[in-house]
Amino acid sequence: MDSAAPSLLRAASPADLRRVVAGWHAAAETVAFVPTMGALHDGHLRLVEQARLEARHVVTSIFVNPTQFAAHEDLGTYPRTLERDATLLAEAGCDLLYAPTASTMYPAGFATRIAMDGPALGLETDHRPHFFAGVAIVVAKLLNQAQADVALFGEKDYQQLRVITRLVADLDIPTRIVGVPTERDGQGLALSSRNAYLSEGELDIARRLNGRLAAAAARVRAGDPIDAVEQETGAALLVDGFASVDYVAVRDAETLNPLKAAVDRPMRILAAAWLGRTRLIDNMAA
Ligand SMILES: Nc1ncnc2c1ncn2[C@@H]1O[C@H](COP(=O)(O)OP(=O)(O)OP(=O)(O)O)[C@@H](O)[C@H]1O
Ligand SMILES: CC(C)(CO)[C@@H](O)C(=O)[O-]
Ligand code: BAL
């Protein structure tokens, strides 16, 4: 373990991570955990900020998890900016950066899989069938390794948040899960590491997504038929310039079950669409 950036501890093995966390717990000090894949932006720093309100110490992990990428996806080109990330984390008041290697997380002979139904069905799974198995295994491992009191995840990845909440309940993992609202730029674009792939022209188009979802959410609340809203919003995104739309879907906000008509419990509208070779997701309350 060393401490390159000011007052930021570092760990690369579960044993080192646990030793530090156990020390804090022995002093009756609470610990919050922010799992990430790095290439940090203000959305991640918002999670760290919230984490500081939830606990005395903050641990952030950076691990670009190979099991949640399909062979044709962007594992090889995913932005990696570890030293810049470390500086940002130190400035944001994070106490410890945990950055394990792939062989630490998945040593030779690794043989465990987690299959999930419920909120993992449909939406992202229809287009990234490998995705939640990869997220579930890595998050279960990270939460076991960190032994934190609370872990924070962004609503930007809303289905992921619901899946992780279910996973932690189902596996009796004693870490409280907190969802953090989506951080957006001045024009409403959800901050995302993958925005770095977009050209200026593509950014202009990307910034239309949140407005389309806000208009769709208002229509759903006003009682417009859900299937018409979903279909017309998808068509509008294509007119805006998106290359293709994976889904626009209105769901029960907690279970993510499909809805035939508006209900008087919280609903969520979720979308995924492509700009060139970049896939963007966004969602909001409906
Ligand atoms: N704009 C945002 N607002 C709030 N939380 C966010 C935002 N972007 C990402 N997060 C959260 O940060 C955590 C780490 O996400 P990740 O490292 O995958 O970043 P990302 O920007 O979502 O990257 P990607 O472009 O791969 O989706 C997740 O819990 C994610 O939901
Ligand atoms: C939760 C997560 C860190 C698991 O790799 C990742 O899916 C992410 O950054 O959203
Ligand atoms: N933010 C979710 C991670 C992924 O898309 O792989």
- How many CB atoms within 10 Å of residue 97? 24
Residue with token string 């076991």: 144
Cβ < 6 A, ligand 1 pocket: 36-37, 43-44, 46-47, 153-154, 156-157, 180, 182-183, 190-194
259: its two tokens: 């809805």
Looking at the DSSP bridge assignments, the partners of residue 245 are 273
Assess whether the C-beta atom of 135 lies below 6 angstroms from ligand 2. Answer: yes
Among 73, 157, 165, 166, residue to substitute to test ligand 2 (most atoms within 8 Å of Cβ): 157
Name all domains of the chain by residue range, CATH numbers in brackets.
9-180 (3.40.50.620), 193-281 (3.30.1300.10)
Nearest ligand, CA of residue 195? 1
Nearest ligand, CA of residue 157? 1
ipTM over 0.95: yes
52/59 Cα distance (integer angstroms): 10
Whole-prediction pTM: 0.97
Among protein residues, the one with the nearest Cα to ligand 2's atom 4 is 135
- Return binding residues for ATP: 37-44, 154-157, 191-194
CA-69 nearest atom, ligand 3 = 6
Q: Print pLDDT tens along the chain (286 aa).
A: 554 545 899 999 999 999 999 999 999 999 999 999 999 999 999 999 999 999 999 999 999 999 999 999 999 999 999 999 999 999 999 999 999 999 999 999 999 999 999 999 999 999 999 999 999 999 999 999 999 999 999 999 999 999 999 999 999 999 999 999 999 999 999 999 999 999 999 999 999 999 999 999 999 999 999 999 999 999 999 999 999 999 999 999 999 999 999 999 999 999 999 999 999 999 999 9
